[in-house]
Structure 1
Amino acid sequence: MTDARPLGTDEAAFVAASRSGDAARFALLTERHRRELQVHCYRMLANYEDAQDLTQETFLRAWNKRESFKGNAALRTWLYRIATNACLDFLDKRKDRTPVPFELPDPGSELPYLQPYPDRMLPADPQESVVARETIELAFIVAVQHLPPRQRAVFVLRDVLGWPASKAADVLELTVASVTSALQRARVTMREQLPDRRLDWRSPELSDDERSVVKSYIDAHERNDLDGLMSLLRDDLRFAMLPDPGTLIRTAKDAVDGWVTGGLFQRGHDDWRCIATTVNLMPAAVLYLRTPGDPEYRLLNLAVLRIVDGKIADLTGFDVTDKPWLDLPSTL
């Protein structure tokens, strides 16, 4: 199926560039779609570096297939088709990136490859469905990974991007009936994975409540106030430290006990400095620790917070010392 539409300006320019082999013009026309395609690949793969690679692979495939583009579909649709299938090819080769049927792990517990997404790399318009906050937060990204790859693609195209079933079917070379069936199954799984969360959008801006909790979280760290930190956590806190999937903890008490056992806070004189930030359109804090005798505060990790009713419900920690794309200073 093709879009019932006249040849647009971008499509006409792309066809001309493809026929003439004008690589510079080709790059200019495709580059404007990079950020949204990278977000699409990230939702499919949950890994920022892989999303970068697959976006680049999308542009390479597009160049190699440029003569097949006739302008019958929008250029954006054509690029999404290539990106989606590039991700499916990647997942077909990486069996460790697909779920075991009927064994759905808790968020973070089986996703050592999960990486945070820097907000500065999101498309510019936060109101667009492609970057709606509910669909870029970590819990949503993790839940999507529990879908088999083709269901995953159907769900993202239909319920995240809002494409009609016929358009998604065309991209995935499926029947409309198959797309409808896959979407129904995907929605069931998503509701199981996100039982206390809406499958719709909310404001991309942090609420005053969220900002207040992040400030208190940072203040508690910098005062070395373990009791103050504990007071910010829900009793049923979920804590995971990635890329180690074995650190999933289900209560605030166990999380705090683990931090103390691991050497944090117990001396009563840990020297912290923290920076408030956001990743995946979620509140976060970058934690720096200065050890005795060291003149500098050194990057320790990134704490991404999901805040519910003034308390931290999920705390996902990331080792970010080897992630330059987050653009975090290594020392303060």
Structure 2
Amino acid sequence: MDDFGELTRAYERELRLHCYRMLGSLTDAEDATQETLLAAWRGLPGFEGRSSLRTWLYRIATNRCLTTLRSRPPAPVAPFELPEPTGHGEITWLQPFPDALLPEARAETVEAVELAFVAALQRMPPRQAAALILRDVLGFTGAEVAEMLGVTETVVKGLLQRARTGAVRRPAETDTAVSKRFAEAFTTGDVDGVVALLTDDAWLSMPPAPHEYHGRAAVAAFLRTSFAYASERAPALRPARANTQPAFAASLDGAFAGVIVLTVRDGRIAAIARFHDPALAGRF
């Protein structure tokens, strides 16, 4: 067991990130990673060495994730009456990924970790997403991907062709000045101050709730309702990093109040994702 731990320890972080891309949920990714290592331990006598240990582990992890994707929990209900949303997001299981958990050395690009890309993967059929991640992000060969998914290379090419049309990657920016101004406005209940930092087509989402708000006016309406619900209680924001993007761990009256992740484009905030999932407490 000690030898097995030494062999697999070097891959645990990258396997967790792979499972996160597949599942969109840090909680599910950690479960899938542990299930992968347990399955590898049990299946070690049958490992014939025809592929590298890393490739074998990724095959197990990918198939574990494909199994997990068959079911998802229902969306929760907000504790106050919300203004009419612009739309309802279907990816209610999305969670942020702390930068502190990223592998120390990543060959893939930064934008392959960002929330927008992970969300785009969740909208794809699972095998398309798996093929895109394994081939374009992680750099496995077409033959290796085909072997992992149990299909032919021709099938992999077809999966990739369809997946690439829905996975445009555009790197976000790290703008500490914008993040600082956002925190100052948000913690003082200054709706106009937050809205002034937004792009005209900014989105606000709040997984695991499905409600989404598009545009400055819609975001402002939600923030006014949210701040009114909090009344005189001022939230506290502690700087963090998630998905290589600026983020904050929020607290209200000393209790965990979720994680906020900002997407910055051209010096303005293009998206605010507010994650109220209590499972994130302690991870940021």
Q: TM-score range by the shorter chain?
A: 0.7 to 0.9
Specify the alignment match of 2:190 in structure 1.
225
TM-score normalised according to structure 1 size: 0.76
Give structure 1 stretches of 5+ with no counterpart. 1-22, 98-105, 192-196, 291-296, 328-332
Q: State the distance in 2 between where 1:316 and 1:122 align.
A: 20
1:101 corresponds in structure 2 to none
Residues 107 and 144 of structure 1: CA distance in aligned 2, closer, same or farther (over 3 Å): farther
8 Å contact kept, 1:221–1:229 = yes
C-alpha contact 1:259 1:265 (8 A) present in aligned 2: no
Match of 1:162 among 126, 139, 145: 139
AA in 2 matched with 1:33: Y
Answering whether residue 256 of structure 2 is matched by residue 286 of structure 1, we say no
Distance in 2 between residues matched to 1:82 and 1:321, nearest whole Å:
29
Q: Encode CA deviations 1:97-121: one digit per residue, 9 max, x unaligned.
A: 9xxxxxxxx9981111111111111
TM-score (normalised: structure 2): 0.88
Deviation at 1:287, TM superposition (A): 2.7
- What is the 5 A alignment of 1:59-78? 59-78=37-56
Larger Rg: 1
Instruction: Look up the SS of the partner of 1:316 in the other structure.
Output: strand
SS in 1 for 2:140: coil
> Which structure 2 residues correspond to residues 191-206 of structure 1 after superposition, within 5 A?
191=168, 197-198=169-170
How much has 1:258 moved relative to structure 2?
A: 1.7
Contact kept? 1:264, 1:270, Cα under 8 Å:
no
Kindly, what percent of the aligned residue pairs are identical?
37
String of CA shifts for 1:90-148, please: whole Å, max 9, x gaps. Answer: 22x42789xxxxxxxx99811111111111111112x421xx32111111101001111
Match of residue 149 from structure 2: 172
Structure 1 position 128 matched with structure 2 position 107: yes
Q: Where does structure 2 lack aligned partners over 5 or more consecutive residues?
A: 75-85
Q: 1:66 to 1:256 in 2, by over 3 A?
A: same
Correspondence for 1:153:
130
Query: What residue identity is the alignment partner of 2:266?
Result: D
**2:51 aligned counterpart, secondary structure:** coil
Match of 1:30, as an amino acid? T
SS in structure 2 at match of 1:110:
coil
- Structure 1 position 276, deviation (Å): 1.5
Alpha-carbon offset, residue 236 of structure 1: 1.4
In 1, Cα distance between equivalents of 2:185 and 2:61:
43
Residues matched between the structures, number:
273
- Residue 154 of structure 2 aligns with an amino acid whose one-letter code is A
Q: Distance in 1 between matches of 2:188 and 2:205?
A: 23
C-alpha RMSD over aligned residues: 2.4
Higher relative contact order (CA 8 A, sep 6+): 2
Counterpart among 261, 276, 293 of residue 225 in structure 2: 261
